[in-house]
Structure 1
Amino acid sequence: MPDDIGSRLREIRKRRGMSQTELAAAADLSVSLVSKVEQGEKRDVRLETAHRLARALDVPTTRLLTNEARQWTPPVDAETWRPVVEALQAAPAQLPEPPTEAGVRGALAGGRALFAREQYDDLGRMLPALIRDVQALEQSVGARRLRYQVMQLCISYLGQVRQYDAAADAAQRALDAASDELDGGAAVVAQCQQLLRKGRLADVAELATRWADDVEPRMSKARPEELAVWGGLQLRAGAAAVRDNRPGEAADALRLAQLAAVGLGREVITGPDHLRHFGPVTVTQQRAEHAAIQRRPDRVLRLHQAVRDWRPARGGGRSGRCRHLLDVADAHLRLHDDTRCTEILHSIYDEAPQWLVAQRYGQDILSRVIERRRTLSPEMRDLADAMRVPL
């Protein structure tokens, strides 16, 4: 973030699409004064002058005078996600009208549809009641299975709104409700994802490796769901290793995941929670993510060529593809192709606007584009506003 008033003024003016002459006219100041402020020749800017500039740029005066960047927040309001967290923490309640497994199953299907359509506000409003109902079900095999599936939906939602502690708690609850080893492995895949986001790399490596050893299938007789869970655990182990600068272990994990992907031969979704989405494309996208973390943009783009025309089947996989495209946009930017980078961000926004708005990674990429360019096209300014890139 710019650390002086001149740099801040220039960046905000650029976002507004104004020339120095236009800003000077809007603020009733001389072009010479605006130029001197931006170039750092005039640092003792009077409060009245800063106020005029701020009014012309439609920002608070303090945004010009201080270097306090606006804190990034999830696009879903806290008043929407907080009741979900509270419902998870609450003890099972005695409800006036006992819920039924059929009713919970129907509500769960509706919640999954909301998540697939990125209607996070609506999903957040319905989840507390769903959590209370599933916890109030009488003990049965079906009720346990529903608790597992509801917790998996909570993981997806809470991760999307960046409530990682609560998502990790939901993952542990899903693990507790797992009815078999494969359900447990899928829950651990989700748990590892939340721990990764919190930077707990050693925990992820230990947990994923231990569970991968426990569920390792016999390749000659493995069922698709076994390969998907085991491969997903290997990908989590590799994700922790590459972030922890252990490239050899990361490469080994990718090699094992590739064995599972070859065994499948295609992308599959072996569970309704979408956390068992796995196959050759998923592994290739993870290889590209490793290359992005290792600052190898050429390799990211080469890997992308193998999967660029792939589209996920209806019902899952879109977030993984969009996350991969962010790595591709980052690679183009590192290779100084701002235009192609912005085109890819536009394509992601067209396909999954609410998902992209929730990605700090996407904001960071576009912020770097803005910093590098002398002027912004109207399309770039519109995209920056749509993605809520802070001024």
Structure 2
Amino acid sequence: MANLGERLRAVRKRRGLTQRELAMLSGISLSLVRKLEQGEREDTRLETLRRLATALRVPTSDLIVRGDSVDETAPAGLWSPVRAALKGLPADGADEAPTIAGVAGVLSSAMPLFSGDQYAELSRVLPGLLRDADALGAEGRPVRSRVLHHTGWLLTQTRQFDSAELALRRALDEAPDRLDGAAVVNTWCWLRMRQGDLRGTIELASRWADDVEPRMSRATMAELSAWGWLLVRLSTAAVRDNQPGEAEDAIRLARTAAVAMGGEYSPAGDFLRAFGPLTVAMKRAENAMVEDRPDRVIDMAEKIPARDLRPTSNNRNRHLLDVAAARVQLRQYPHAFELLQNIRHDAPEWIVNQRYARDILGQIIGRRRTLTPDMRDLADFIHLAL
């Protein structure tokens, strides 16, 4: 299978472009184009690939090479007990048999840890919770599916992609109905997108969105949330794959679902299904950032009260990174740095896992001759090499 450098070079030559011309058309530095083609850089951010693909007039997915799992062993000490429990490996000792009510109660009490990105605490809670859920038998399928779903979401968040896929496959197998299945697929689409599988994301989201599309005249909040999220995933994958028309059609339908809900839907005990007009607005801003429209991102962000979105903190923080990236493109570096500092304060364990945050800070630092102590401190905190 051709690697990224070989694919990029082959497409560039078919288009009759020099490396310098490709760099000018894409807005990517000539040195990065050369490094990618020569194999000195084995990967790059999806947004960078999209800019190259746009200049070459091909879908982004034509340049993507899917490899093995990404960073699967990076925090081995933290996540190895979770992976062992997920695979059904036994633990030392034996406790009394778990009950459905007991496992559901533990999961409910752990929700603030998930929504608050408390990874260290979750790494201690999840192994036992997974084993207890496995011991419930057939009647425990609904709660077991939810435990596996949230585990898959967490492992996707922390780039444990192989383990995340195992958790989500199991969660989908255990899902008691199609709406629960759609919620799992929503997270699975996000996993596929983080793996660079844009075409797979588009196909999966389209198929499930068609399957769960409700009748608007009698749709429940849960149905609208499930359908809307799948449309959002379709849109965010399509815009990255240079399919702006399909991306816009999907986000418009998602907005239709959100408007019909009349406000943000935050079901008790499951922040992953929270959805509404503000969620769609943040995803519209994300699409605008992918399309290199920083002015549009800022205009949209000013209408989004992101600080109030505690039940969807992960979406909020991702949105704030988009705003910070837009500020950098507009040369508003102090504003961008302040946003990164605020995210660190609110979600320290989350930001450490965000390559996007490192890229943004790297751009800020790269435009300064000397660094402030705060900049050095943040760079150390998110593991950005200076």
- State whether TM-score is above 0.5: yes
Bigger CA radius of gyration: 1
Matched residue, 1:257: 254
Name the count of aligned residue pairs.
Answer: 319
Post-superposition shift, 1:346?
1.2
Matched residue, 1:83: 81
Matched residue, 2:314: 319
Distance in 2 separating the partners of 1:253 and 1:271: 27
Post-superposition shift, 1:381?
1.8
Matched residue, 2:280: 283
AA aligned opposite 1:77 = P
Distance in 1 separating the partners of 2:181 and 2:357: 32
Distance in 2 separating the partners of 1:91 and 1:310: 41
Preserved CA contact (<8 Å) 1:118 1:355: yes
AA aligned opposite 1:235 = V
Matched residue, 1:340: 335
Counterpart pick for 1:194 among 191, 196, 221? 191
AA aligned opposite 1:202 = R
Counterpart pick for 1:306 among 289, 303, 308? 303
Q: 1:367 to 1:75 in 2, by over 3 A?
A: farther
Matched residue, 1:244: 241
Post-superposition shift, 1:82?
1.6
Preserved CA contact (<8 Å) 2:168 2:188: yes
Counterpart pick for 1:363 among 352, 358, 362? 358
Residue 180 (structure 1) aligned with residue 177 (structure 2): yes
Residues 100-130 of structure 1 deviation map (CA, whole Å, 9 limit, x = unaligned): 2222123222332322343212211221111
Preserved CA contact (<8 Å) 1:92 1:136: no
Preserved CA contact (<8 Å) 2:148 2:167: yes
Distance in 2 separating the partners of 1:90 and 1:212: 32
Matched residue, 1:383: 378
Distance in 2 separating the partners of 1:324 and 1:213: 27
Matched residue, 2:225: 228
Matched residue, 1:52: none
Counterpart pick for 1:213 among 196, 210, 215? 210
Residues 349-377 of structure 1 deviation map (CA, whole Å, 9 limit, x = unaligned): 12222211221110110011111111122
5 Å-filtered alignment, 1:40-189, equals 77-90=75-88, 97-140=96-139, 143-189=140-186
Preserved CA contact (<8 Å) 2:264 2:277: yes
Segment drifting more, 154-163 vs 188-197: 154-163
Preserved CA contact (<8 Å) 1:92 1:135: no
Matched residue, 1:349: 344
RMSD of aligned residue pairs (Cα, Å)? 2.4
Post-superposition shift, 1:273?
2.9
> Where does structure 1 differ by over 4 angstroms across 4 or more consecutive aligned residues?
72-76, 91-96
Distance in 1 separating the partners of 2:331 and 2:293: 13
Preserved CA contact (<8 Å) 2:198 2:240: yes
Distance in 1 separating the partners of 2:96 and 2:218: 47
AA aligned opposite 2:223 = E
Residues 61-83 of structure 1 deviation map (CA, whole Å, 9 limit, x = unaligned): xxxxxx99xxx969983112022
Q: 1:322 to 1:303 in 2, by over 3 A?
A: same
Distance in 2 separating the partners of 1:351 and 1:76: 23
Specify the SS of the correspondent of 1:97: coil
Q: 1:274 to 1:202 in 2, by over 3 A?
A: same
Counterpart pick for 1:266 among 260, 263, 279? 263
Distance in 2 separating the partners of 1:209 and 1:309: 28
Specify the SS of the correspondent of 2:269: coil
Percent identity between the two aligned chains? 47
Post-superposition shift, 1:337?
1.3
Preserved CA contact (<8 Å) 1:153 1:273: no
Post-superposition shift, 1:223?
0.7
